[in-house]
Structure 1
């Protein structure tokens, strides 16, 4: 049985990987994150505090647990923060990958690295894995720089690019578009939603499953991992309203330009999933199925 080490285990994807491993026992898990463990169950796996910017600590943890695979989920993902704090973004999204890669090369560890649809400019989505990257934000650029590091590495690596991940954990320290829309509409708060950006939202459980499939199948190269439904952000929010029978009349459609966001967003991303479905046996849920899973999890936690 392989031992995997996850970075960013307190995040949404990190917690879903822990959840899957505990439920299915397909691998041994070492979960790592900054600070204390926020996952509610502490047995059945190892947890180690690890700040991915602390090179000595990263080396210590990896040498202690000797993983076969590292799934690297930790990153700065707030697009506007990345644009405003380029140096911090570079440290988290590029320098940390350099550190992990050098250790993976030295110790023959496979690296599975999470990337994003924001490596593309959004002019010609949905995208295949081999399509040319052309980021329009610094966040996207940082993820391209990290991808380039992997491509020139002698380590065994795979890149999983994903889109707009949603889901719920026990301690939702950070929201996502589904929870934000549901929460605002339940409170009767009017919301503005862009109608000129298109995405394929990804259920966190699907992405966690893709990570474990990549481990099991010793995936190499780039894979696109998302939900299977293509929609505008405005349509996405309306679907959330429909699912929970909330008032759609307080949703106002606006253009991206009117938001004056710090960072530019790609217009139409989305992925062609054929390679991932074929090579990894990936089976994404529909958006409605994803919302149903989120709803059931919310009910079970009350």
Structure 2
């Protein structure tokens, strides 16, 4: 049996991972680390309320639990907020990873770390795991720094890079692209959506499965996880409207420069997924197909 700590267990990916791993209690003993009370709606696992940036307490808890695997889903991910609060972003996105590495170096722990397409500048699209990063925002830079810490640490690690994660879990503290578009259109609201940024959205269940496969197959290194088709964010919104039979006429295309966002976004990301399909053996689908699976769950 593997003892697995999920940091950020109250988040979208964290709750999804809990559900997946707790379905196999003979294979995994699961511990959730997150701030505040347990928001997963489940009480059949050990939950630790913790501020991960409190290094002394974090190391103490890790020493008491002695995990085999740490899945680090915790991060500051709001791109503009990271630009405005660089110190906070660095502490959570980089220094917490340093603490996990410090513990893991001494205890033979496999770290599975979540990263992002925002480590790239978006000039190219369909990035391979081996392409050279060049972030255009502080958020992207912080995630790249965390990757570099892991790569140079000597610790057994898996880095899963992903894009625009969406889904729904028991207690949502934040929305995501699919829920925002769906709920806005259901309310009859007009929405502006950028048509000059291109992404490959990731269904949270697919990302959870990739984390589990990395544990089971002990796959180390960097893997890209997303849907399989590069779409403008405007086209993503249109596909959401079509999937839920909502009014596409409420969606207006807009250029990124018109939003006046504090942090720059990469224009075109997207991933080459060949390595992931071959080595993890995971089924990756078009966004439209994943949307239909998601629709069955929430309608």
* TM bracket (short chain): over 0.9
Counterpart position of 1:202: 202
Counterpart position of 1:37: 38
Question: 1:163, 1:225 within 8 Å by CA — same for their partners in 2?
Answer: yes
Taking the TM superposition and a 5 Å limit, the aligned residue runs for 1:247-262 are 247-262=247-262
Counterpart position of 2:157: 157
Structure 1 stretches of 4+ with a deviation exceeding 6 A read none
Q: Which range moved further: 187-196 or 290-299?
A: 290-299
Can you list the C-alpha shifts for 1:51-101, whole angstroms capped at 9, x where unaligned?
210112211221111110100000000000000111110011011111111
User: Alignment partner of 1:289: what SS?
Assistant: helix
Unpaired runs of at least 5, structure 2: none
Query: For residues 27 and 287 of structure 1, what CA distance do their matches in structure 2 show?
Result: 30
Question: 1:206, 1:285 within 8 Å by CA — same for their partners in 2?
Answer: no
Query: For residues 280 and 295 of structure 1, what CA distance do their matches in structure 2 show?
Result: 26
Query: For residues 276 and 7 of structure 2, what CA distance do their matches in structure 1 show?
Result: 23
User: Alignment partner of 1:71: what SS?
Assistant: strand
Question: 2:22, 2:28 within 8 Å by CA — same for their partners in 1?
Answer: no
Taking the TM superposition and a 5 Å limit, the aligned residue runs for 1:198-277 are 198-277=198-277
Unpaired runs of at least 5, structure 1: none
Taking the TM superposition and a 5 Å limit, the aligned residue runs for 1:1-302 are 1-25=1-25, 26-43=27-44, 45-299=45-299
Question: 1:50, 1:61 within 8 Å by CA — same for their partners in 2?
Answer: no
Question: Shift of the alpha carbon at 1:193?
Answer: 0.4
Question: Shift of the alpha carbon at 1:23?
Answer: 2.2
Question: Shift of the alpha carbon at 1:283?
Answer: 1.1
Question: Shift of the alpha carbon at 1:228?
Answer: 1.5
User: Alignment partner of 2:147: what SS?
Assistant: helix
The number of equivalent residue pairs is 298
User: Alignment partner of 1:112: what SS?
Assistant: strand
TM-score, length of structure 2 as denominator length: 0.97
Question: 1:203, 1:285 within 8 Å by CA — same for their partners in 2?
Answer: no
User: Alignment partner of 2:209: what SS?
Assistant: helix
Query: For residues 88 and 189 of structure 1, what CA distance do their matches in structure 2 show?
Result: 34
